[in-house]
């Protein structure tokens, strides 16, 4: 039986990289962090609009995990209807160079056309498709 990645991070040379990736692990976490870095504090509904393909349940799950990691804060306002804001903590803000490097790499090497992603090597088109 394999152990979860989080339990293996102290047992191999790539530990710092693997540990950092474990906080970003999840289809939506990096994108959530990107939007909070770009736009500042956002309401749940605003995040949901920006990530139109995510279900409410999955967004809630990813936000909870980011909150448990100490990367974001969740502020609930006692109003009707309920208002919940999400913002980056200073620890979350410290991921800015990592998220912006991912953005720059994607801008340079990934092209999205007709619902498909293509990887390009330094401006040259590649035959490789990414699902």
pLDDT band for 7, please (50, 70, 90 cuts): low
What is residue 1's predicted lDDT score, i.e. its pLDDT? 40
Q: Is 123 left (phi over 0), alpha (psi -120 to 50) or beta?
A: left
What is residue 21's predicted lDDT score, i.e. its pLDDT? 87
In a domain, 50, yes or no: yes
Per-residue pLDDT reduced to its tens digit, 77-87: 999 988 999 99
* Residue 95 burial (CB count, 10 A): 20
pLDDT band for 2, please (50, 70, 90 cuts): very low
Mean pLDDT across the chain, nearest whole number? 85
In a domain, 58, yes or no: yes
In a domain, 29, yes or no: yes
Calpha distance 48→53 (Å, rounded): 9
In a domain, 38, yes or no: yes
What is residue 13's predicted lDDT score, i.e. its pLDDT? 63
Domain, as residue range, for 22: 17-108
What's the domain count of the chain?
Answer: 1
Per-residue pLDDT reduced to its tens digit, 84-100: 999 999 999 999 999 99
In a domain, 27, yes or no: yes
Q: CATH code at 43?
A: 1.10.10.10
- Percentage of the chain beyond pLDDT 90 is 57
In a domain, 1, yes or no: no
In a domain, 118, yes or no: no
In a domain, 34, yes or no: yes
């Amino acid at each position: 039986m394999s152990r979860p990645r989080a339990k293996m991070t102290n047992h191999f040379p790539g530990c710092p990289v693997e540990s950092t990736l474990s906080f970003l692990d999840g289809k939506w976490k990096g994108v959530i962090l990107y939007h909070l870095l770009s736009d500042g504090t956002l309401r749940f509904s605003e995040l949901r609009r920006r990530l139109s393909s995510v279900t409410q349940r999955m967004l809630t799950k990813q936000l909870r995990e980011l909150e448990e990691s100490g990367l974001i804060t969740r502020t609930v306002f006692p109003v009707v209807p309920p208002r919940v804001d999400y913002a980056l903590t200073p620890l979350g803000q410290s991921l800015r160079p990592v998220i912006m490097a991912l953005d720059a790499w994607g801008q340079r090497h990934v092209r999205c056309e007709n619902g498909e992603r293509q990887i390009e090597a330094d401006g040259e088109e590649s035959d490789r498709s990414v699902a």
